[in-house]
């Protein structure tokens, strides 16, 4: 049975390895640049960890197999990164992490989650649609989302179509 908990500081290097492994499938859809991208730095991971916004999913051995990083952006709780190791794929761990974030957001009075993702990659845009996310038109982006999209463009991520998505937080408000 999976368990979600706050990440520990000593797990940050493992989170980097989960991110690296979860990028490998992008090679199979012609996105080698994404597959080869370096994971988030330890300094950036420490930012999320020290703010209490880094969670991991584990099994009985308590070793993380997936993680979620979030931050407040434009009144949403924004999913900055979510990854599950390919060896643990297909067990609904990503959706469990997002459901966990829903509960955290509701407790904080936040009524929407947001994320940026690839439009057509099956485990990105199409997957998030099955979880209740919908595209947020650019005219509705706040300054924070605009800044995130600007950084993504500058990093070359717009080689493939990307979008901003939101979903309401059940029980918020």
The phi-psi region of residue 169 (left if phi > 0; otherwise alpha if psi is between -120 and 50; otherwise beta) is beta
Q: Give me the phi and psi of 136, to 5 degrees please.
A: -100, 115
The sign of the torsion formed by the CA atoms of 110, 153, 18, 2 equals positive
Task: Measure the CA–CA gap between 164 and 135, rounded to whole angstroms.
Answer: 6
Nearest one of 56, 58, 78 to 67, comparing CA atoms: 56
**Token pair of 43 as six digits:** 């300094």
Distance of CA 111 to the CA centre of its chain: 17
Question: pTM of the prediction?
Answer: 0.94
Decide if 107 contacts 100 (C-beta within 8 A): no
Distance of CA 165 to the CA centre of its chain: 12
* Domain chopping of the chain, boundaries: 3-168
Give, for all 173 residues of the chain, the pLDDT tens digit. Answer: 899 999 999 999 999 999 999 999 999 999 999 999 999 999 999 999 999 999 999 999 999 999 999 999 999 999 999 999 999 999 999 999 999 999 999 999 999 999 999 999 999 999 999 999 999 999 999 999 999 999 999 998 989 999 999 999 987 65
3-168, which class in CATH? alpha beta
Length of the chain: 173
Start-to-end CA distance of the chain, whole Å, equals 31
Task: Measure the CA–CA gap between 110 and 119, rounded to whole angstroms.
Answer: 25
H or E element: which one contains 151?
Answer: helix 143-154
């Amino acid at each position: 049975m999976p368990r979600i908990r706050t990440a520990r500081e000593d797990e940050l290097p493992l989170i980097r390895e989960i991110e690296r492994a979860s990028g490998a499938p992008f090679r199979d859809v012609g996105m080698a640049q994404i597959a080869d991208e370096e994971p988030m730095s330890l300094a950036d991971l420490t930012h999320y960890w020290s703010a209490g916004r880094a969670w991991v999913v584990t099994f009985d051995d308590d070793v993380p197999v997936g993680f979620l990083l979030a931050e407040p952006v434009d009144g949403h709780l924004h999913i900055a990164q979510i990854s599950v190791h390919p060896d643990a794929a297909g067990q609904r761990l990503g959706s469990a992490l997002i459901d966990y974030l829903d509960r955290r957001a509701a407790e904080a009075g936040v009524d929407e989650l947001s994320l940026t993702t690839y439009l057509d990659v099956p485990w990105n845009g199409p997957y998030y649609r099955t979880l209740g996310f919908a595209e947020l038109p650019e005219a509705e982006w706040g300054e924070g989302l605009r800044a995130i999209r600007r950084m993504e463009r500058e990093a070359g991520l717009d080689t493939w179509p990307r979008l901003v998505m939101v979903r309401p937080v059940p029980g918020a408000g």
